[in-house]
Amino acid sequence: RGNSPGAGGAVAEAATAAEQPGNMSNWQSITPEMVLKHQRPSDGFLCPMEANTYGIEFQEFQIKDYSSGKTVYASPGAGAAPDMMATAVAGDAEMRSVKYSFPTDFLTFQTIRTALRFKVGDQPANNFRMIEIHYFKDKVVRVYDFTFGFCIPNSTNSWEAIYDVPKYTSSQVTDYVGWGWGLS
C-alpha cells in the first residue's frame, strides 16, 4: 500500500512497497533492501498478520509542526480530536492501515516532529527497522528508514524524530491539494 503527501488537507495512507506487490506467499524472502528499491506502491501488504512474531503494537503516533507546536495528526490513543482521528481502510487492511488527513498548511511546514510509542511482545526485537515510503501518482516523494536498535521484551518504547520537510513548488502544492484521496 502506498503513501501520498497530497492535501485536501494533505492525505497519506500508511504502508510500504514490495518486490512482488500484494503477494504474501513470499513474505519470508522480502528484505529491507528490496523494499527500498520500489518506485510505486504495492497492491497489498507484504506479509500476513501472523508474521508479527515480535508482537509489536503501535500505540500512539503524533505529527507536529516543529516551529509552532501545532498538532496536525494524533492517533486516537494520543488524545486526537474526532476530525483528526485515523479512518480505518476497509477489508483486511482495517487493522493495518491508516488514512491521514492533514490541513493544507502542512505542505508549508519547514520542519516536523513525530513521536511514536510502541509495545514489544514476549520476544526481544533486535535492530527493529521501520521503512516508510511516501508516493504521489506512483512516484516516490520521500523515504524514511528508521532503526530502533534493541527493544526489550514486554517493553513500551518511545521514539521522537525531528526532520526537515521537502520544499514544494506552488504547482506541486496545487496538485497535492487537488488530488484528495485518489492515491497513486
Judge whether 184 lies within some domain. no
Helix (H) or strand (E) segment spanning residue 73: strand 71-74
Which residues sit opposite 145 in a β-bridge?
A: 131
Judge whether 160 lies within some domain. yes
Assess whether pLDDT exceeds 70 at residue 49: yes
Alpha helices in 65-133 (DSSP H): none
Task: Indicate the number of domains in the chain.
Answer: 1
Judge whether 5 lies within some domain. no
Which residues sit opposite 125 in a β-bridge?
A: 151
Beta-carbon contacts of residue 107 (< 8 Å; ≥ 6 apart): 5, 7, 10, 168, 173, 176, 177
**Residue 60: C-alpha distances to residues 6, 12, 30 (Å):** 23, 17, 27
Helix (H) or strand (E) segment spanning residue 176: helix 170-179
Judge whether 2 lies within some domain. no
Enclosing domain of residue 156:
10-179
Judge whether 44 lies within some domain. yes
| 139-160 confidence digits (pLDDT tens) | 898 898 999 889 999 999 999 9
Higher pLDDT, 128 or 2: 128
Judge whether 4 lies within some domain. no
Say if CB 72 and CB 61 are below 8 A apart. Answer: no
Q: Cell numbers of 75, please? A: 492517533
pLDDT band at 72 (very low <50, low <70, confident <90, very high): very high
Supply the CATH number for residue 44's domain: 2.70.50.40
CA distance 11 to 180: 7
Say if CB 115 and CB 146 are below 8 A apart. Answer: no
pLDDT band at 94 (very low <50, low <70, confident <90, very high): low
Judge whether 133 lies within some domain. yes
Assess whether pLDDT exceeds 50 at residue 85: no
Judge whether 1 lies within some domain. no
User: Cα Rg for the chain, rounded, in angstroms?
Assistant: 16
